[in-house]
């Protein structure tokens, strides 16, 4: 059965704020907010750099920060495995990829640690953080995550795998095959769908015949969980439960964050051709960062002057990363030939 | 030295290597309790258990993808695609993913995934149990395509493949599984990739062939001795990348080259080898480079007459060699 956390949200009867109930300290909540804010400011700068013709492409994670930061908080960084998709700027930032690295990749500059300037921007990768390289064909990472899950089960560690994708990807065969494996073998994999309601221009009704992505979990013998993806604490709560379940050896979960992408699909898209401005404005009022800030103010976690400090610091970090990447050299041209094969073993 | 068939060479090597390396596990359709439809993994589940010999769901895309994930993690997966004809759903995972991981991360992530699959025709397999898929995958940088064709080569290259840190498509000609026997030493020898083998030394014509066609070529070469035609037979063993030096030095010696494959003619491996010879050994040639290959039809037909017409064989190969020798 699909569990809908949003519809079944318990009434706030206890005096304790939600983050305390979830076992999060004020400092942890502040850090989560900080990652959301920094990701947003970085993302906005990337849009500007594209519009200034500084870079060729940008694909954005704006609007997804709430579900991403909440989920990242429930993982052990550098221990668990993470398969991101291209909107996971805030997720990968929270797990340890730096703004300088992201800017190097945006520009395709020499020494970009994610792909050495080979991939388009937002194709995250960090071997030392167990963040597996993103490719452009959607959903390919889903059955690969089941493979890592199988390997974890094989080696009997307490690691888990989280794999992210949009709801558009769930129309691909890779999605169904990946969940099928995980269900059969009870693999420690959390399938994390960030449902922003559009596959570029195609709305959800034309993407799938059921109401929720999570409804499909039943067919693969795992729980399906729906939650408000713009509520960072609800995302943390859902991921925490799924991670605990996976670590206990009870198998996979399918999580569905209901969210929205208030910006075009990518720098080459114009969303005015397929949706109303009223709809976009409605969702902008439910911006996950606005909601998180309001929560923090209400619970005296930090105040407006502290928030201004965060804004100033984010500006400095984004400026630094931007300048670092802008002034870095491009890779030497013959670098295009390297990295095809490894050294063959000597006999 | 024991004599093994090609299929026994596969099974015995997998058994030995699994006993040696605890990170090796096998998955694929029917590889466990059934021991594989060709029996290549016979006895392995009994010896190593169902965690190391894993019966997969019937889903080629994810057999490759799951193997790829396990390889990223650091295991040594050996996945079996039951028939090469059925690998198409995994094209994206194999070509766009496995073969590109190293390049797209500048060497950060590597993918030591071994994919074994039976290929080739002549067994009444019709369109979808007879295909030769090598040319499609030999076009992909970052993916080794190997096709060892004798028990000795299968053992040495399978052992080597399990030490290579890139994805490998390991092609086994299904008609040779029980047809071809040969002696295999007991020691742990290995045969490196990108190393062709001169299977028969000759002076008049060079023939490049692999798989079942290697054995048909050797039969033709034996018969042509009666006509005083001395054929040199080169087995490339690794189809991608090619050992160019061995092919070129043979052609420079004989001045005449024929390439034989079961795969259809157009843009097959023969086209690449012919181009190589044309650009690197042009001034040594005494005759046009020739090819004997399957016809350009979608795949091999089932009816015996049409199947035999499709398949190159010793007779057709001998005819081409005679033609070349006459120049």
The pair of three-digit structure tokens given for residue A36, joined into one six-digit string: 């959301």
- Averaged pLDDT of chain A: 96
pLDDT for residue A14: 61
Is the confidence at residue A150, as pLDDT, over 90?
A: yes
B127 plus B48 within the same structural domain: yes
Split at pLDDT 50, 70, 90, the class of A11 is low
pLDDT, tens digit, for every residue of A196-252?
Answer: 999 999 999 999 999 999 999 999 999 999 999 999 999 999 999 999 999 999 999
pLDDT, tens digit, for every residue of A251-299?
Answer: 999 999 999 999 999 999 999 999 999 999 999 999 999 999 999 999 9
Split at pLDDT 50, 70, 90, the class of A3 is confident
Last residue of a domain, one of B183, B207, B224: B183
B267 plus B129 within the same structural domain: no
pLDDT for residue A9: 63
Check: CB of residue A222 under 8 Å from CB of residue A213. no
B66 plus B179 within the same structural domain: yes
Split at pLDDT 50, 70, 90, the class of B1 is confident
Residue B259 to residues A170, B209, B256, Cα–Cα distance (Å): 45, 6, 10
CATH superfamily of A18-326: Thiamin diphosphate (ThDP)-binding fold, Pyr/PP domains (3.40.50.970)
What CATH number is attached to the domain comprising B288?
Answer: 3.40.50.920
Last residue of a domain, one of B131, B154, B183: B183
Residue B33, number of CB atoms within 10 A of its CB? 10
* A272 DSSP assignment: G
In three-state form (DSSP H/G/I as H, E/B as E, the rest C), the secondary structure along chain B is: CCEEEHHHHHHHHHHHHHHHCCCEEEEECCCCCCCCCCCCCCCHHHHHCCCCEEECCCCHHHHHHHHHHHHHHCCEEEEECCCHHHHHHHHHHHHHHHHHHHHHCCCCCCCCCEEEEEECCCCCCCCCCCCCCHHHHHCCCCCEEECCCCHHHHHHHHHHHCCCCCCEEEEEECCHHHHCEEECCCCCCCCCCCCCEEEECCCCEEEEECCHHHHHHHHHHHHHHHHCCCEEEEECCEEECCCHHHHHHHHHHHCCEEEEEEEECCCCHHHHHHHHHHHHCHHHCCCCCEEEEECCCCCCCCCHHHHHHHCCCHHHHHHHHHHHHCC
Mean pLDDT of B205-215: 98
pLDDT for residue A4: 80
Please tell me whether the peptide bond between B241 and the residue prior to it is cis, using omega within 30 degrees of 0: yes
B175 plus B305 within the same structural domain: no
* A266 DSSP assignment: B
In this structure, is residue B191 part of a structural domain?
no
Residue A137, number of CB atoms within 10 A of its CB? 13
Q: Which residue of A has its CA nearest to B98?
A: A144
In this structure, is residue B192 part of a structural domain?
no
B179 plus B252 within the same structural domain: no
User: In percent, how much of chain B has pLDDT > 90?
Assistant: 99
In 3D space, the residue among A15, A68, A21, A75 whose CA is nearest the CA of residue A40 turns out to be: A68
pLDDT for residue A173: 98
Whether A146 and B66 lie within 8 Å, measured CB to CB = yes
Q: How far apart, in whole angstroms, are the C-alpha atoms of residue B161 and residue A207?
A: 42
Q: How far apart, in whole angstroms, are the C-alpha atoms of residue A158 and residue A61?
A: 30
Q: How far apart, in whole angstroms, are the C-alpha atoms of residue A166 and residue A122?
A: 15
Domain range summary for chain A, segments of one domain joined by +: 18-326
B150 plus B204 within the same structural domain: no
B203 plus B162 within the same structural domain: no
Q: How far apart, in whole angstroms, are the C-alpha atoms of residue A60 and residue B90?
A: 29
Is the confidence at residue B64, as pLDDT, over 80?
A: yes
Is the confidence at residue A1, as pLDDT, over 90?
A: no
In this structure, is residue B306 part of a structural domain?
yes
In this structure, is residue B101 part of a structural domain?
yes
B56 plus B140 within the same structural domain: yes
Answer whether A23 touches B (CB < 8 Å).
no
pLDDT for residue A234: 98
In this structure, is residue B166 part of a structural domain?
yes
Check: CB of residue B81 under 8 Å from CB of residue A205. no
Question: In sequence order, which residues have a C-beta less than 8 Å from that of residue B287 and are 6 or more positions away?
Answer: B255, B256, B324, B327
* ipTM for this model: 0.97
Is the confidence at residue A10, as pLDDT, over 70?
A: no
pLDDT for residue A12: 57
Question: In sequence order, which residues have a C-beta less than 8 Å from that of residue A20 and are 6 or more positions away?
Answer: none
A146 CA: distance to closest CA in chain B (Å): 6
pLDDT for residue A91: 98
Collect all residues of chain A within an 8 Å Cβ-Cβ radius of residue B89: 173
Is the confidence at residue B187, as pLDDT, over 90?
A: yes
Residue A109: how many CA atoms within 13 Å on its side-chain side? 18
Is the confidence at residue A64, as pLDDT, over 90?
A: yes
pLDDT for residue A21: 96
Is the confidence at residue A144, as pLDDT, over 80?
A: yes
In this complex, the residue of A125, A155, A344 whose CB is nearest that of residue B109 is A125
Whether B59 and A149 lie within 8 Å, measured CB to CB = no
Residue B142 sits in which domain range? 3-183
pLDDT for residue A15: 76
B184 CA: distance to closest CA in chain A (Å): 18
For this structure, is B129 an active site residue? yes
Mean pLDDT of B58-67: 98
Q: How far apart, in whole angstroms, are the C-alpha atoms of residue A342 and residue A330?
A: 24
Number of domains in chain B: 2
B7 plus B120 within the same structural domain: yes
In this structure, is residue B190 part of a structural domain?
no
* Chain A 131-150, residues with CB within 8 Å of chain B CB atoms: 132-133, 135, 137, 140, 143-150
Last residue of a domain, one of B148, B183, B218: B183
Answer whether B287 touches A (CB < 8 Å).
no
In this structure, is residue B71 part of a structural domain?
yes
Is the confidence at residue B132, as pLDDT, over 60?
A: yes
pLDDT for residue B210: 98
Split at pLDDT 50, 70, 90, the class of A154 is very high
B125 plus B217 within the same structural domain: no
Question: In sequence order, which residues have a C-beta less than 8 Å from that of residue A255 and are 6 or more positions away?
Answer: A71, A190, A191, A192, A193, A214, A224, A225, A227, A238, A239, A242
Handedness of CA A257, A258, A261, A266 (dihedral sign): positive
B12 plus B143 within the same structural domain: yes
B246 plus B173 within the same structural domain: no
């Amino acid at each position: 059965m699909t569990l809908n956390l949003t519809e079944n949200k318990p009434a706030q009867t206890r005096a304790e704020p939600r983050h305390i109930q979830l076992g999060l300290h004020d400092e942890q909540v502040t850090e989560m907010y900080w990652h959301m804010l920094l990701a947003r400011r970085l993302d906005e700068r990337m849009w500007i750099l594209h519009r200034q013709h500084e870079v060729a492409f940008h694909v954005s994670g704006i609007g997804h920060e709430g579900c991403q930061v909440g989920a990242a908080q429930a993982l052990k960084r550098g221990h668990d495995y993470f398969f991101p998709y291209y909107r996971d700027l805030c997720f990968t930032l929270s797990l340890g990829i730096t703004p300088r690295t992201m800017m190097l990749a945006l520009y395709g500059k020499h020494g970009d640690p994610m792909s050495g300037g080979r991939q388009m921007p937002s194709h995250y990768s960090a071997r030392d953080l167990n963040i597996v390289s993103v490719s452009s064909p959607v959903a390919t990472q889903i059955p690969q995550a089941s493979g890592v899950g199988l390997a974890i089960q094989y080696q009997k560690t307490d690691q888990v795998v989280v794999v992210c994708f949009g709801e558009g990807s769930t129309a691909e065969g890779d999605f169904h095959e990946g969940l099928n494996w995980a269900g059969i073998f009870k693999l420690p994999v959390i399938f994390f769908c960030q449902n922003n309601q559009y596959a570029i221009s195609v709305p959800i009704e034309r993407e799938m015949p059921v109401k929720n992505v999570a409804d499909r979990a039943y067919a693969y013998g795992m729980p399906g969980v729906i939650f408000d993806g713009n509520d960072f604490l609800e995302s943390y709560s859902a991921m925490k439960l799924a991670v605990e379940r996976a670590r206990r050896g009870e198998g996979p979960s399918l999580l569905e964050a209901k969210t929205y992408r208030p910006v075009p699909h990518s720098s080459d898209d114009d969303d005015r051709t397929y949706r109303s401005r009223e709809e976009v404005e409605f969702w902008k009022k439910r911006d996950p960062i606005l909601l998180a800030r309001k929560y923090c103010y209400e619970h005296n976690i930090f105040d407006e002057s502290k928030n201004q400090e965060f804004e100033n610091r984010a500006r400095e970090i984004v400026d630094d990363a931007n300048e670092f990447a802008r002034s870095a050299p491009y890779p030497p041209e013959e670098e295009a030939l390297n990295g095809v094969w490894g050294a063959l073993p000597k006999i | 030295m024991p004599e093994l068939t090609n299929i026994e060479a596969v099974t015995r090597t997998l058994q030995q290597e699994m006993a040696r390396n605890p990170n090796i596990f096998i998955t694929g359709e029917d590889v466990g309790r059934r021991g594989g439809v060709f029996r290549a993994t016979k006895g392995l589940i009994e010896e190593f258990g169902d965690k190391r010999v894993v019966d997969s769901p019937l889903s080629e895309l994810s057999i490759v993808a799951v193997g790829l994930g396990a390889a990223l993690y650091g295991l040594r997966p050996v996945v079996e695609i039951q028939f090469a004809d059925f690998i198409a759903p995994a094209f994206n995972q194999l070509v766009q993913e496995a073969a590109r991981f190293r390049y797209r991360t500048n060497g950060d992530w590597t993918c030591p995934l071994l994919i074994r699959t039976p290929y080739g025709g002549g067994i009444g397999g019709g369109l979808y149990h007879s295909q030769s898929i090598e040319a499609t995958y030999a076009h992909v940088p970052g993916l080794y395509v190997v096709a060892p064709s004798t028990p000795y080569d299968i053992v040495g290259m399978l052992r080597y493949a399990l030490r290579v840190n890139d994805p490998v498509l390991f092609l086994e000609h299904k008609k040779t599984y029980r047809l071809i026997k040969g002696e295999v030493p007991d020691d742990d020898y290995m045969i490196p990739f990108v190393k062709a083998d001169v299977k028969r030394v000759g002076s008049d014509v060079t023939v490049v062939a692999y798989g079942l066609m290697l054995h048909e070529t050797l039969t033709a070469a034996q018969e042509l001795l009666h006509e005083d035609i001395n054929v040199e037979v080169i087995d490339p063993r690794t189809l991608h990348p090619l050992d160019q030096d061995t092919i070129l030095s043979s052609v420079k010696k004989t001045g005449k080259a024929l390439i034989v494959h079961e795969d259809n003619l157009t843009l097959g491996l023969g086209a690449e080898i012919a181009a190589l010879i044309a650009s690197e050994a042009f001034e040594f040639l005494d005759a046009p480079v020739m090819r004997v290959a399957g016809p350009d039809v979608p795949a091999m037909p089932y009816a015996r007459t049409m199947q035999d017409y499709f398949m190159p064989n010793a007779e057709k190969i001998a005819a081409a060699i005679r033609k070349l020798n006459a120049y």
